[in-house]
Structure 1
């Protein structure tokens, strides 16, 4: 049985369809019997204040402490960092048509002063992933930033990304083109700060031969694009009921 009739134009998503997909994904995380997996990452569904549009945020510690109590404290404070610094009242348009300027984005302007960040849990490296609907491609796009890396490891640097997130089997693929278009850089869709993303230019080809319900859409999509930068959905989420 085909589920494509649920969508206005498979595999593309309208704003309403993406909002529902985010809600289903969040519900799967809440209801899943994750056990130890819930200690490793946190998933939240957010809305922007200006448009009401939804997006998914995933927080993962890069080097989890071995002690359970220390791990719980790290994740608790990690959530505090993101909530404290989250920008939900700003919504900007991103021009991704000029991809040849990606390398320019990777070189920070030395004249631009960036205020120092404040961390409630210093020296605990973590990665923030976000899933936003691309305004042009009408497909989910995976954004990510590295945070609180050890001194000497710049967070906004491709070498750091490959060192901390990309497994060896994906490196040559991502450095060329790959199934999902490789790693690009651009202003973050909410706060306009430099960030990395998996370009969605070839996501259509990866998704169009598949078939899934709307409540499974982000699970299937992440299975295609997430692993190359270290994001795997716990299998328990696939077993949980996502009905809202």
Structure 2
């Protein structure tokens, strides 16, 4: 039986199907043996009360600090990013072998629209926040991304900064001419309404039609199609079945 039969209308996904593929993707991250990769790459399944929908948040440091204390401070700040958007959050800690995770569910009741993370002299490490939301019109996942804590004088909401920090050289000319994934666009963020960048999903359907994947693999495959254009690669360990 084709995996496409699991979906109401392949390769599109309903909101219920998207919630499920987000849960599968988060589970892959929790179970994967990532070791030191977890120091610079974090995935969290999010849920927002205003729309009662799920989405995926991915945090990645743009460069690894040489000082371990700087690294700890940077991720201490990053772990608070987006908390004002969700009612539930899975916080992950690793034991001394850096592999065993102990997920802890915590309830948060905070107001939307709170101030962004404050600048800290000791944790000002540039990082990118990726978010995967379901597009209400195209009914396809959509990759949103924002830069944070860039060096002084470099604007975060700037297309040149996106190309400089995120887009690999091989993709730059293709994206500037609206390549296979539709190119980089800007619009108000689907939750915060703050201007942000996203990969336009207008041609993602055609790219996904060549695949036949289960819901457990859907976001892995989709990110393989879309993510590399803006520097997002899923660790190969997440592709391994536990």
- Name the TM-score, length of structure 1 as normaliser: 0.83
Equivalence for 2:124 = 123
- Higher-helix-fraction structure: 1
Equivalence for 1:105 = none
Report the alpha carbon displacement of residue 72 of structure 1 after superposing the two structures with TM.
3.3
Paired residues for 1:1-244 under 5 Å: 1-83=1-83, 86-88=84-86, 118-119=118-119, 122-241=123-242
Q: 2: CA distance between counterparts of 1:189 and 1:138?
A: 14
Which sections of structure 1, spanning at least 5 residues, go unmatched?
Answer: 90-114
- Name the TM-score, length of structure 2 as normaliser: 0.84
Runs of 4+ in 1 over 6 A off after TM superposition: none
- Partner SS for 1:65: coil
Question: What value does the CA root-mean-square deviation take over the aligned residues?
Answer: 1.7
Q: 2: CA distance between counterparts of 1:157 and 1:211?
A: 36
Q: 1: CA distance between counterparts of 2:86 and 2:81?
A: 14
Which sections of structure 2, spanning at least 5 residues, go unmatched?
Answer: 88-114
Report the alpha carbon displacement of residue 195 of structure 1 after superposing the two structures with TM.
0.2
Report the alpha carbon displacement of residue 26 of structure 1 after superposing the two structures with TM.
0.3
Query: Which structure has more RCO (C-alpha within 8 Å, separation ≥ 6)?
Result: 1
Report the alpha carbon displacement of residue 117 of structure 1 after superposing the two structures with TM.
5.5
Report the alpha carbon displacement of residue 81 of structure 1 after superposing the two structures with TM.
3.7
Is 68-77 or 55-64 further displaced after alignment? 68-77
- Higher-strand-fraction structure: 2
Equivalence for 2:107 = none
